[in-house]
Structure 1
Amino acid sequence: MILAVIIGCEIGFWVLLGLGLVTRYLWRMRRLSTALLVAVPLLDVVLLAASVIDMRGGATADWRHGLAAAYLAYSIVFGHRTVKWADARFAHRFAGGPEPWKPPAGGMARARYEWIMWFKIVLAYGIACGLLLGLAWIVGNPARTAALTGFMLDLSKIPLIALIWPVSYTLFPKKVKEDRRESGVPVKPRG
């Protein structure tokens, strides 16, 4: 059951996000758009409730409950950013909005960006672990929740692997071509 709820919430996330953006930019229905986009986090509440109900109903924890916690943690930390990312691209493509923001191309600015992203991944991991520990506490039966601890250990690989990016950008920063107009160096006109 819990896997079906996770899949339904993931599909629901993209459907609500897509409908929210279509109603905002193509149909110009701002109120309905806002309601649809505000409903996106409610899917997380549905998923959390389904996990608790499933475990309280006697289910033995497995990877699906861990995945539900990871999904919730991702939504908490990165959900707003994902909505803003999609909104900027949709507005640019369909409503003449400005070109979407891009992360710095290189240098220490890119390293700083990568470290911020890594700390957000660590935060999401911490939230997922907190949710899993909370679920184990609610159930109160270590025999039924042992798999949650194993999932936390497996999930720890994600921040460890993600550490490659900030470390590599810090130790080997990519050189960025300096725009002569921004550097104060006069640009010789062509012609």
Structure 2
Amino acid sequence: MLLTVSGPPGSGKSTTAAALAEAFDLEHVSGGDIFRELAAERDMTPVEFNELAEEDDQIDRDLDRRLRDVAVERDDVLLESRLAGWLAGDHADLRIWLDAPLDVRCERITDREEKPLDQVIEETRRRESSEAKRYREYYNIHIDNLSIYDLVYNTARWSPEGMLGMLTTAIDSYDPDTDEGKIPVEGVDYDF
């Protein structure tokens, strides 16, 4: 099974993805972890690294190629990244999008990173704007187009345990033997 979990910063995707991977005994591959490691190697914050990626498209292309290769070549994986659903394309069994209002997401990031809320709001807005711009330019992906996702949840409405319960029920109910209703991913330019 190949599951993808995507969403903006602070949406709960890492927490949810880790719990789902454990619940279904899947390898968990996190694009965010890889991106943060690459930023730290250059002694940069993720926001600074995002802005550098606007000038050096190879940063995104290398990361995205790695994630796409995982989706195409491996089984029993949960792929977590902002673009995981798009990168996995039709290889994904289920594509999940998690979100929450900006203020909720920023409060979560503030708690996690121990930064002032106003700084987190400003950084999150810059980061999301930077990423959206690059996704459009590089791959013709409009990140706010959620039509490819099988499941879309506002994580502010449930606890992490509640989210896991709902998603586990949905995944357990999934019938891999049918392609009826499978949403194709079209119009993406995978030019890595």
**TM-score, normalised to structure 1's length?**
0.26
**When you count strand as a share of all residues, which structure comes out higher?**
2
- TM-score by structure 2 length? 0.26
The structure in which a higher percent of residues are helix is 1
Q: Which has the larger radius of gyration?
A: 1
